[in-house]
Amino acid sequence: MPLGLLRFAMSKKHPEPRMFREPDALKAAYDVVIIGAGGHGLACAYYLARDYGITNVAVLEQGYIGGGNTGRNTTIVRSNYLTPEGVRFYDESVRLYKDLSEDFDLNLFYSERGHFTFAHTDSALSTMRWRAEVNKHMGIESEVVDRDTIQQACPELDLDCGGHLPVMGALYHAPGAVARHDAVAWGYGRGADQRGVEIHQKTRVTDIRVEGGKVVGVETDKGFVRTGKVVSAVAGFTPRITEMVGLRTPITIQPLQACVTEPLKPWLDTILVSATLHVYVSQSSRGELVMGSALDPYELHSTRSTLDFTESLSGHLLDMFPFLSEIKVNRQWAGMADMTPDFAPVMGRTPIDGFYLDSGWGTWGFKATPVCGKTMSYTVANDREHELIEPFGLSRFENYRLVGEKGAASVGH
Partner 1 sequence: MTDVPARLPARSGEWIDRDRVVEFRFEGQVYRGYAGDTVTSALVAAGRRTLGRSFKYHRQRGVLSLANHDVNVMVDDGQRTNLRADVLPISAGLELQAVNTKGGLTGDRHRHINRMAKLLPVGFYYKTFHRPRRLFPFWERRIRALAGLGTIKRDAPRVETPKRYDFCDVLVIGAGPTGLSAALAAANNGAQVVIADENARAGGSLTHQWAGDAEAVEIRERLLSAVDAHENIDLRTGTTAAGYYADNWVALVDDIRLSKMRAGQVIVASGCFEQPAVFHGNDLPGVMLGSGAQRLLHRYAVRPFQRAVILAANSDAYRLALDLVAAGIEVATIADLRTEGETGPLAERVTAEGVVVRRGCGVYEAHADKNGELSGVVVAPVTAEGEFDLGRQESISCDGLLMSVGWTPAANLLYQAGTKMDYADAVQQFVPAELPDNVHAAGRVNGVHDLRQQLADGERAGLAASLALGLYSGEVPEQPRHEGGSPNHPYPIFDHPKGKNFVDFDEDLQLKDLLNACQEGFDNIELMKRYSTVGMGPSQGKHSNMNAVRILARHRGQSIMATGTTTARPYFHPVPLKLLAGRSFNPERRTSLHEWHRAADARFVHVGDWLRPEVYGAADTNRPLNELVLKEVTAVRRAVGLIDVGTLGKLDIRGPDAAEFLERIYTGRFSNVKHGRMTLALRCDESGVVTDDGIAARFAGDHFYVTASTTRSGAVLQDMQHWLMRWGLDATVVNATGHFAAMNLAGPYSRHVLAELTSADISDDSLPFGGVATATVAGVPARLMRVGFVGELGFEIHVPAQFGPAVWERVMAAGKQFDICPFGVEAQRILRLEKGIPIVGQDSDGLTNPFEMDMGWALAMSKPFFIGQRSLQILQRRGAERVLAGFSLPRDGNAAQVRESHLVIRDGEIVGRVTSVAYSPTLDRIIGLAYVAPAQNLPESTVKIRADGGVLRSATVERLPFYDPDDLAQAGVASLQEVS
Ligand X SMILES: Cc1cc2nc3c(=O)[nH]c(=O)nc-3n(C[C@H](O)[C@H](O)[C@H](O)COP(=O)(O)OP(=O)(O)OC[C@H]3O[C@@H](n4cnc5c(N)ncnc54)[C@H](O)[C@@H]3O)c2cc1C
In the complex with partner 1, which residue's Cβ is closer, 102 or 243? Answer: 102
Least distance (Å) between residue 308 CB and ligand X: 16
DSSP-derived secondary structure letter, 364: T
Pick the stretch among 61-69, 128-136, 262-270, 346-354 that binds ligand X (CB under 6 A). Answer: 61-69
29 binds, among ligand X, partner 1, none (CB under 5 to 8 A by kind): none
> What's the one-letter identity of residue 292?
G
**Binding residue for ligand X (CB under 6 A) from 72, 120, 131, 386?**
72
Inter-residue contact 34 to 231 (CB < 8 Å): yes
Interaction between residue 342 and partner 1 (CB under 8 A):
yes
Pick the stretch among 55-63, 126-134, 378-386, 398-406 that binds ligand X (CB under 6 A). Answer: 55-63
- Residue ranges in 76-115 that form contacts with ligand X under rule CB under 6 A: 76
23 binds, among partner 1, ligand X, none (CB under 5 to 8 A by kind): none
> What's the one-letter identity of residue 42?
L
In the complex with partner 1, which residue's Cβ is closer, 34 or 313? Answer: 313
**Binding residue for ligand X (CB under 6 A) from 87, 205, 245, 253?**
205
Interaction between residue 319 and ligand X (CB under 6 A):
no
Look at residues 398, 384, 397, 355 and name the one whose alpha carbon lies nearest to residue 244.
Answer: 355
In the complex with partner 1, which residue's Cβ is closer, 51 or 267? Answer: 267
264 binds, among ligand X, partner 1, none (CB under 5 to 8 A by kind): partner 1
Interaction between residue 395 and partner 1 (CB under 8 A):
no
Query: Between 316 and 335, how does the x/- string for binding to partner 1 read (CB under 8 A)?
Result: -xxx--xxxxxxxxxxxx--
Distance set, CA 340 to CA 34, 66, 110, 237 (Å): 22, 22, 28, 14
Burial of 324 (0-12, 13-18, 19+ CB in 10 A): middle
In the complex with partner 1, which residue's Cβ is closer, 338 or 405? Answer: 405
Residue 347 phi, psi dihedral angles, 5° rounding: -140, 150
What is the rounded radius of gyration, in angstroms, for the C-alpha atoms of the chain?
21
Pick the stretch among 99-107, 151-159, 255-263, 402-410 that binds ligand X (CB under 6 A). Answer: 255-263
364 binds, among partner 1, ligand X, none (CB under 5 to 8 A by kind): ligand X
**Binding residue for ligand X (CB under 6 A) from 365, 370, 391, 393?**
365
Pick the stretch among 50-58, 127-135, 220-228, 234-242 that binds partner 1 (CB under 8 A). Answer: 127-135
Q: What's the start-to-end Cα distance of the chain, in Å?
A: 35
In the complex with ligand X, which residue's Cβ is closer, 172 or 366? Answer: 366
- Which helix (H) or strand (E) covers residue 43, if one does? helix 39-52
For residues 340 and 358, give the distance between their C-alpha atoms in angstroms, rounded to a whole number.
Answer: 12
Distance set, CA 90 to CA 128, 287, 306 (Å): 18, 27, 31
Strands (E), 36-188: 57-60, 76-77, 111-112, 115-119, 143-145, 169-173, 177-178
Edge-first strand order for the sheet with 223-226 is: 205-211, 214-220, 223-226
Burial of 82 (0-12, 13-18, 19+ CB in 10 A): buried
402 binds, among ligand X, partner 1, none (CB under 5 to 8 A by kind): partner 1
Interaction between residue 286 and partner 1 (CB under 8 A):
yes
**Binding residue for partner 1 (CB under 8 A) from 141, 182, 353, 390?**
182
Distance set, CA 332 to CA 191, 278, 290, 293, 348 (Å): 31, 16, 10, 12, 34
Interaction between residue 344 and ligand X (CB under 6 A):
no
**Binding residue for ligand X (CB under 6 A) from 49, 57, 68, 270?**
68
Interaction between residue 257 and partner 1 (CB under 8 A):
no
For residues 81 and 377, give the distance between their C-alpha atoms in angstroms, rounded to a whole number.
Answer: 24
For residues 114 and 92, give the distance between their C-alpha atoms in angstroms, rounded to a whole number.
Answer: 18
256 binds, among ligand X, partner 1, none (CB under 5 to 8 A by kind): ligand X
In the complex with partner 1, which residue's Cβ is closer, 150 or 208? Answer: 150
Interaction between residue 371 and ligand X (CB under 6 A):
no
For residues 294 and 317, give the distance between their C-alpha atoms in angstroms, rounded to a whole number.
Answer: 13
204 binds, among partner 1, ligand X, none (CB under 5 to 8 A by kind): ligand X
9 binds, among partner 1, ligand X, none (CB under 5 to 8 A by kind): partner 1
Inter-residue contact 167 to 150 (CB < 8 Å): yes
- Which helix (H) or strand (E) covers residue 260, if one does? strand 252-261
Question: How would you classify the pairing of strands 115-119 and 271-274?
Answer: parallel
For residues 150 and 144, give the distance between their C-alpha atoms in angstroms, rounded to a whole number.
Answer: 10
> What is the contact surface with ligand X in residues (CB under 6 A)?
35-41, 60-63, 67-70, 72-76, 204-205, 233-237, 256-258, 292, 335, 337, 361, 363-367, 413
